[in-house]
């Protein structure tokens, strides 16, 4: 925390996707781990699946130090209609 009470995060290895676990984290990330994916991986996966992105929202945390970094991203997508030949 800085003098204004804001949390800071050091991001390392953002482009390295895969399983991670932290002994410093409580809950699932500390006990069983989690899988990191880049935002591009998620959005490109939607496109490859035949979906068109309609809307994206970053859901803020309601408590704790994660209020500065959204822990959840939500996407609304629709199935692309096949083109008429």
* DSSP per-residue string spanning 34-83: EEE--HHHHHHHHHHTTEEEEEEEEEPPSSSGGGGS-SEEEEEEEEPPPP
- Across the chain, mean pLDDT equals 85
Instruction: Give the tens place of pLDDT for each residue, 27-58.
Output: 777 788 888 899 999 999 999 999 999 999 99
pLDDT for residue 14 is more than 70? yes
Bridge pairing between strands 18-20 and 34-36: antiparallel
* pLDDT of 65 above 70: no
In the predicted model, is pLDDT for residue 73 greater than 80?
Answer: yes
3-state secondary structure of 28: helix
pLDDT of res. 66 = 66
Query: 52 vs 4, which has greater pLDDT?
Result: 52
- Quick one: average pLDDT of 45-74? 86
């Amino acid at each position: 925390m800085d003098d204004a009470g804001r949390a800071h995060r050091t991001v390392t290895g953002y482009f390295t996707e895969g399983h991670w676990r932290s002994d410093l984290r409580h809950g699932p990330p500390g006990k069983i781990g989690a899988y990191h994916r880049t935002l591009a991986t998620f959005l490109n996966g939607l496109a490859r699946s035949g979906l068109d992105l309609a809307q994206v929202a970053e859901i803020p945390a309601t408590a704790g130090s994660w209020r500065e970094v959204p822990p959840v991203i939500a996407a609304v997508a629709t199935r692309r209609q096949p083109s008429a030949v």
